[in-house]
């Protein structure tokens, strides 16, 4: 994560929900099969697209509901688990790394936004900022990843240790 820029605390219940989801999407991307290769497998590509759609749908839902008046509970500090930039940088696949890095920066912007100081909702500038990040992430997938990959990099892969398995069982 960019040095010292995000505390992991927000006053905004909607940002807490959105960031929690985005964090899970980064975790999924960092543990996907493609994270160990120079290609993004079709099923991982589909997952990345679905994660973007889910984040956008959640943001659309939270901005469509009425602004909530929470005089008795605000300012309630909500702790949010945040991904670490070191985890992102450890991934072999540069496209997965770029996607996760950009998603992490979007989280940092949300956590440090004006909206993060409200009890719920997003102010218009934070909505536009989020939308711009999601558009850039989608364009990265459709205009670079889908067009360019796979690459044959036999002399430079592997550079990093392999991605470890995700969480298992109950």
Q: What does the pLDDT average to over 32-46? A: 93
> What distances in angstroms separate CA 8 from CA 46, 52, 70, 109, 149, one per listed residue?
29, 22, 21, 12, 35
The reported pLDDT for the residue numbered 6 is 67
Backbone φ and ψ for 126, nearest 5 degrees, come out as: -70, -35
Strand partners of residue 78: 10
Q: With both helix axes pointing from N to C terminus, report the angle between 94-111 and 124-139 in degrees, rounded to the nearest 10.
A: 180
CB contact set of 102 (below 8 Å; sequence gap of 6+)? 133, 136, 137, 140
The reported pLDDT for the residue numbered 5 is 53
Read off the tokens for 16. Answer: 């807490």
Instruction: Supply the mean pLDDT for the chain.
Output: 90
The reported pLDDT for the residue numbered 20 is 96
In angstroms, the CA 136 to CA 123 distance is 20
4: pLDDT strictly greater than 60: no
1: pLDDT strictly greater than 50: no
In angstroms, the CA 118 to CA 10 distance is 9
pTM comes to 0.87
DSSP classification of residue 39: S
Q: What does the pLDDT average to over 20-34? A: 95
Strand partners of residue 152: none
| β-pairing verdict for 78-79 and 9-10 | antiparallel
Mind listing the pLDDT tens digit for each residue in 122-158?
999 999 999 999 999 999 999 999 998 887 877 777 7
In angstroms, the CA 7 to CA 85 distance is 14
The reported pLDDT for the residue numbered 170 is 72
Read off the tokens for 1. Answer: 């994560």
Backbone φ and ψ for 122, nearest 5 degrees, come out as: -130, 135
């Amino acid at each position: 994560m960019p040095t010292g820029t995000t505390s992991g605390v927000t006053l905004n219940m909607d940002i807490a929900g959105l960031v929690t989801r985005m964090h899970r999407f980064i975790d999924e991307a960092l543990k996907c099969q493609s994270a160990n290769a120079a290609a993004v497998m079709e099923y991982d590509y589909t997952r990345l697209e679905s994660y973007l759609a889910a984040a956008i749908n959640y943001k659309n839902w939270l901005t469509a509901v009425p602004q909530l008046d929470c005089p008795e509970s605000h300012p309630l500090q909500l702790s949010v688990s945040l991904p670490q930039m070191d985890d992102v940088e450890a991934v072999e696949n540069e496209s997965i790394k770029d996607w996760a890095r950009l998603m992490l920066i979007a989280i940092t912007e949300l956590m440090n936004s004006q909206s993060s100081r409200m009890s719920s909702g997003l102010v218009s500038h934070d909505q536009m900022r989020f939308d711009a990040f999601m558009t850039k992430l989608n364009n990265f997938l459709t205009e670079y990843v889908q067009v360019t990959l796979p690459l044959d990099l036999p002399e430079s892969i592997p550079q990093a240790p392999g991605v470890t398995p995700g969480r298992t069982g109950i």
